[in-house]
Amino acid sequence: MVTIARPPSGAGTTTAGGDNVIDVQNLHVEFHTSLGTVRAVNGVSLGVPRGKTLGVVGESGCGKSVTAFAIMQLVATPGVITQGEIVLRARGKDPVNLLTHAKGSDDMRAVRGRHIGMIFQEPMTALNPCYTIGNQIAEAILLHRTKDHAQADAMTLEILSRVGLPSPSRLMTTFPHQLSGGMRQRAMIALALSCEPDLLLADEPTTALDVTTQAQILDVMRELQEHIGMSIMFVTHNLGVVAQMCDEVAVMYLGRIVEHASVDELFDSPKHPYTRALMRSIPHLGSGRKGRLEVIQGSIPGQFSKLAGCQFHPRCPDAMPGICDVKSPSLLPIGDGAQVSCFLHHDPSGSPRSPEAVVARAQSATGAGGATVSSPN
Ligand SMILES: Nc1ncnc2c1ncn2[C@@H]1O[C@H](COP(=O)(O)OP(=O)(O)OP(=O)(O)O)[C@@H](O)[C@H]1O
Ligand code: SF4
Ligand SMILES: [Mg+2]
């Protein structure tokens, strides 16, 4: 279990709407299966500021990986992107909506690797067992950065040593299966970073690693981020890693973003009941609190469920009957740079509630063990 050790306050500030490398707007991804349609991503909007790290967190199955794969246009069949916009602002290029490129097009292939790199929880997803590590990285460099083989080899050696792999020259002729799990993970990171992408999509890159290797890999990512100024979208279950790595956080629930805030704001003052429940389910260093950690009540509705209203209402201790089970809240700004999708913070017409009204609602919910407000104010 992970305890939370956070960087000094002020390390993260929300820059939503500023100079974002990627802007995802109203993204919808569906899987049409024989049993029905799974709405894996249901209107996600997010941006990753240049040179910063956005953490994406949420329970298993909430659509984190599908969102990352959609940005790369690598959603597996029978998945389809049915709606949305994914605008990439690569260095020195005009902004482009990636969804105007066909997924198998040369334009999209030019984006993958060169402008957007991706690392996965399982390195063998990205590494080809039939080619040496050196071959695979040099090939990516030859495709995107230089046509000179000697220069590509030199660049390969440089990136292998930068990710902290010992004996980089030996790795030029080493196959993935000849490496330990931690070394394979570093090799995959080297492959993803070899073309110095504008954006790195990191999908649980350290979940399978021991704590020491995890810390080393996170250091490597931070150093490289500083060195090449790239942005990172970091998908993880681990709020400890979020606290260490991220500037901003997007919290997902059932294919939607329910809260987006700076990392300081999210840890100091989580707004959405789901975020608050997530925070209460982890230990905090120095809190002095003893006893059992809380769990989030209930379970995620089934993949094919068509729930009316707020998707969290069956599990929400603050749910307001007649409102939350009828209307679906939108993700709206709440005045301090954060965005929240919850009727505690704005009324059903979309107007923000005053801080006093929010506090009053929270108190009435605590006192009654669940709010029973029948009309919005
Ligand atoms: N190939 C597929 N066919 C049908 N449904 C799919 C497929 N791939 C993903 N899904 C569904 O899409 C939803 C989102 O999946 P996703 O992999 O993005 O979850 P996640 O948030 O990354 O979860 P985890 O934390 O476990 O990795 C899930 O309900 C999942 O069952
Ligand atoms: S909208 Fe209602 S049910 Fe949904 S999180 Fe907010 S209070 Fe809970
Ligand atoms: Mg996943």
| In-domain check, residue 353 | no
- Where is pLDDT greater, at 161 or 210? 161
pLDDT one-digit tens code per residue, 147-195 = 999 999 999 999 999 888 889 999 999 999 999 888 898 899 999 999 9
- What percentage of the chain carries pLDDT values higher than 90? 60
d(CA 188, CA 98): 24
18 close to 48: Cβ distance less than 8 angstroms: no
Domain count, the chain: 1
Least confident of 15-24, 157-166, 188-197, 204-213: 15-24
Please tell me if the CB atom of residue 65 comes closer than 6 angstroms to any atom of ligand 1. yes
Atom 30 (ligand 1) nearest CA: 61
What is the per-residue pLDDT across 222-259, written as a single tens digit (0 to 9) for each? 988 998 889 999 999 888 899 999 999 999 999 999 99
Task: Tell me if 288 is assigned to some domain.
Answer: no
SS (H, E, C) 310-322: CCCHHHCCCCCCC
Question: In a mutational test of the pocket of ligand 2, which residue from 274, 318, 375 has the highest number of ligand atoms less than 8 Å from its CB?
Answer: 318
Measured in angstroms, how far is the CA atom of residue 321 from the centroid of ligand 2? Answer: 10
Q: What is the CA radius of gyration of the chain?
A: 22
Q: Do the domain assignments include residue 326?
A: no
pLDDT, mean of residues 316-339: 91
Q: Which amino acid is at 291?
A: G
Closest ligand by atom to 37 CA: 1
Q: Could you tell me the CATH number of the domain that includes residue 243?
A: 3.40.50.300
Q: What gap in Å lies between CA 146 and CA 160, rounded to an integer?
A: 17
377: pLDDT strictly greater than 60: no
Residue 357 lies in a domain: no
Neighbours of 354 (CB within 10 A): 10
pLDDT at 156: 96
Q: Is position 218 within any domain?
A: yes
Residue 64 lies in a domain: yes
Q: Which of 10-24, 50-64, 105-119, 267-281 has the lowest mean pLDDT?
A: 10-24
Of all atoms in ligand 2, which is nearest to the CA of residue 345? Answer: 6
- Whether 239 maps to a domain, the answer reads yes
The angle at the Cα of 265, spanning 260 to 268, to the nearest 5 degrees, equals 130
Q: Supply the mean pLDDT for the chain.
A: 86
Query: Is position 265 within any domain?
Result: no
CA distances from 101 to 6, 31, 231 (A): 40, 20, 22
Range of the domain at 80: 20-253
